[in-house]
Amino acid sequence: MADDDLPDSLEPAVDIPPREEPPAPPTPKGDLRAVSIVAIVTGVIVIAWYLFIATASAIAEIDNLPFIQIGMWVLAVVSFVCGILSLNARMARELAAAGFIAGVAAGLLSVTIGLFSGLELLG
């Protein structure tokens, strides 16, 4: 019979060398997860700071308040720019949307609360 000449399909293939692993695929374009995470983290810091300013009653007792305010402006700009950049994401769109929202919220809070309180502190 012709089937006797064929190898058994259940036997392990011990005489066949293993294949080489293909190289990892390159990172696809539009992977802006790091930018989105930076926008979220800096946005949360800026929002928390301005919530603290809006709710704290003893702001004048904080040392180095002008330097902290300038630092918050810088973080708000970083968050806003990273939020705008995350609009170009093609992967992890939910994270990119959260980064955009955090960036825009930090930018708007920095303009509305931070500008007037900062000018009051610095001037």
pLDDT value of position 1: 53
Confidence of residue 73 (pLDDT cuts 50, 70, 90): confident
Q: Distance (Å, rounded) from C-alpha 39 to C-alpha 34? A: 9
Nearest of 53, 99, 60 to residue 80 by alpha carbon: 99
| Residue partners of 78: CB distance under 8 A and separation at least 6 | 38, 42
Q: Distance (Å, rounded) from C-alpha 74 to C-alpha 1? A: 82
Q: What is the mean pLDDT of residues 66-81?
A: 84
Confidence of residue 13 (pLDDT cuts 50, 70, 90): low
| Residue partners of 8: CB distance under 8 A and separation at least 6 | none
What ranges do the domains of the chain cover?
28-122
Q: What is the pLDDT of residues 28-65, one digit of tens each?
A: 666 778 888 888 898 898 888 888 877 775 555 666 77
Q: How many residues does the chain have?
A: 123
Q: Which pTM value belongs to this model? A: 0.65
Higher pLDDT, 83 or 61: 83
Q: Distance (Å, rounded) from C-alpha 107 to C-alpha 43? A: 8
